[in-house]
Amino acid sequence: MMTTIEKLAELREKMKGTGVDAYVITTDDFHASEYVGAYFREREYMSGFTGSAGTLVVLPDTAALFTDGRYFIQAEAQLAGSTIELMKSGQPGVPTIEEYLYDHLEPEKVVGFDGRTVSLDFADRMLGKLGDKKVTLNGELDLVDELWADRPELSHEPVFELPFSYTGETRADKLVRVRASIRSAGADARVISALDEIAWLLNLRGNDIDCNPVFLSYMLIADEDCRLYINDAILNDEITRELAVDGITLHPYNEIYTDLRRLPEVIQTHKKTEQVTILLDGCQANYRLRSCIPETVSVVDEPSAIQLMKAQKNSVECENERNAHIKDGVAVTKFIYWLKHHIGTETITELSAAEKLESFRKEQKGYIEPSFDTISAYGPHGAIVHYEPTEETNVELKPESFLLVDSGGHYMEGTTDITRTITLGALTEEEKWAYTLVLIGHLNLAAARFKHGTRGENLDYLAREPLWRYGLDFNHGTGHGVGYLLNVHEGPNRIHFRIMEERRPTAVFEDGMITSDEPGIYIEGRFGIRHENLVLCKKAGKPAGKLPEVFLKETEANGTFLEFETLTWVPFDTEALIPELMTDRELQRLNEYHKNVYEKIAPYLTEEERIWLEQATSPVSKKYHNKI
């Protein structure tokens, strides 16, 4: 096997042969997916860095890998000795990829990449920054493919259909809504390349990306045409027939590029003018797609309307998600009980603990697979935000400190994502102090009541304030949207204090959006703590307590208010708390949550597990701290 240094040397020879002065390798597949199938892991192959986010830039004499705060520690370790410089994106003094290229390229040079794996938005940013140097882009190259001798094949796993009892809306009705959005934008058609949008729209699910139930495909939707570009071998006869009934025609996966080149001939339009207008989302559509569209076609780059439709779960999806989280709560609660009763009496490692948790989920009816690779991080490993144990890093758990477990599952009823930081034994005062502050922030955000029009940037302070009070912080978002039996991370809802620098803001919170609530703290070399539940945004009920009559008219005039309904039901570790750091209101929130945990989860446990859960969820007060 070649070393990273040898791979870089071969790539540079390829660059010379094709007249490329810089080569960019993203983490993306052809659909701007967050996680990608084995075929697409070119950046991992070239750099050795295995994180889910990062971009490698290779020049004749240097190379740099850009990644975000979730992966700084991991990337630093995996890039050691590779000659690749780690660029900590978002940190003071660290350039963007475009700025880095600008600083390292002479005028009239060429930046190469595989245009199918670079978003139109990213390509536009490069052109915008490098334009005054007359640097050009070549998006027709896949140089890594020429080096990767044993590259895995493109995935083509079977697709299955979700019945109405899980989706709450038919494929035909969804198409009506999408077509209406195209017309309202004054356009004739839309290109859809985001895999989760296609899966949601068609009420189909697949398995072409680990832990993401999607399938490789594109769609081209017009008023009277609906084309699905897919390897039809992954569709059974019944699904093929039902798609045809809904007016959806099947075409080979890669034919999308050919059809876009002859776009005016492909789509049917009744407009009197010959001018055709097509919509695409530059943050999701790849550079090659845009390059194929003729100049005679008007292209409008705007966010896909499907993203917001998909994020607002309907009543059927919401009720199913509640049921999925009961099942998941039972599995994780059983796991915590098992762990606390076996730690110190038998050998348990990070990997074996993750396997045990998976076995509890498999006992639940309707369970399909994990929604992402389980983070099972003991002690110092907990400080690596997205640490995933391997055979090389796997360590034995001891009856001391914390095990941070971030995991989730796909059920027929929906997708879950939960983090619990579990006490394994004796804790230091600083571990308890940090645990308590993070939990306060988590509870504060979960209790938020806010006016319609609020975005995640407005809510983030609720979770970070207990840490910011002491000059502490965590280097990741506080919340992300979650799909319905789809990607565990989805937009447009997001909670983070940083206003996104990209041209598109985060979404206003709407009724039906599911978002994570997951503040944390990470002390490198010591420990990491994160508390995560999923919450459902919904219209707020009447305010608690009696309001003076003089204010009643004011409340009616102030518009719609929203609040969060907690979906996740698993106890927090009260033996890790310092109750004196919490206000009475914060303790009340914790005790009310634990009361609900016991009521919802206890009926599904054994007698021994119920007795333990009753103790684990017993009220906590400043005068008496129950130790279990």
pLDDT at 265: 85
pLDDT at 552: 66
Between CA 378 and CA 397 the distance in angstroms is 7
pLDDT at 270: 46
Q: Are strands 414-415 and 449-451 parallel, antiparallel or unpaired?
A: unpaired
Place of tokens 């007016």: 247
571 and 534 belong to one structural domain: yes
358 and 453 belong to one structural domain: yes
The H or E element spanning position 369 is strand 367-370
Residues in a beta bridge with 461:
none
CB 266 within 8 A of CB 259: yes
Q: Does 268 score more than 70 pLDDT?
A: no
The pTM of this model reads 0.91
Q: Does 514 score more than 70 pLDDT?
A: yes
Residue after which a domain boundary falls, among 116, 147, 178: 147
Between CA 47 and CA 8 the distance in angstroms is 8
Tell me the pLDDT band of 256, cut-offs 50, 70 and 90: very high
Question: Which residues does 594 contact at the CB level (< 8 Å), separation at least 6?
Answer: 571, 572, 574, 616, 617, 618, 619
Among residues 418, 396, 480, which one has the least CA distance to residue 52?
Answer: 480
Among residues 519, 521, 480, 528, which one has the least CA distance to residue 384?
Answer: 528
Question: Which residues does 458 contact at the CB level (< 8 Å), separation at least 6?
Answer: 450
Q: Concatenated DSSP letters for 344-367?
A: TTB--BHHHHHHHHHHHHHTSTTE
Mean pLDDT of the chain: 94
Beta strands in 424-532 (DSSP E): 449-451, 479-481, 490-495, 514-517, 520-523, 527-530
pLDDT at 623: 65
Tokens standing for residue 439: 């939990």
Reported as a single tens digit per residue, the pLDDT across 289-317 is 999 999 999 999 999 999 999 999 999 99
Residue after which a domain boundary falls, among 81, 115, 147: 147
Q: Does 84 score more than 60 pLDDT?
A: yes
Please write down the HEC assignment for all residues of 112-154: ECECCCCEHHHHHHHHHHHHHHCCEEECECCHHHHHCCCCCCC
**Domain span including residue 601:** 315-616
Between CA 20 and CA 333 the distance in angstroms is 55
Q: Does 274 score more than 70 pLDDT?
A: no
pLDDT at 561: 93
CATH number for position 389? 3.90.230.10
How many domains in the chain?
3
Tell me the pLDDT band of 438, cut-offs 50, 70 and 90: very high
189 and 124 belong to one structural domain: no
CB 529 within 8 A of CB 74: no
Reported as a single tens digit per residue, the pLDDT across 99-156 is 999 999 999 999 999 999 999 999 999 999 999 999 999 999 999 999 999 999 999 9
Confirm whether 345 is domain-assigned: yes
CATH number for position 11? 3.40.350.10
Residue after which a domain boundary falls, among 123, 147, 171: 147
pLDDT at 627: 47
Share of the chain above pLDDT 90, in %: 87
Reported as a single tens digit per residue, the pLDDT across 319-353 is 999 999 999 999 999 999 999 999 999 999 999 99
Reported as a single tens digit per residue, the pLDDT across 357-411 is 999 999 999 999 999 999 999 999 999 988 889 898 999 999 999 999 999 999 9
Confirm whether 155 is domain-assigned: no
498 and 587 belong to one structural domain: yes
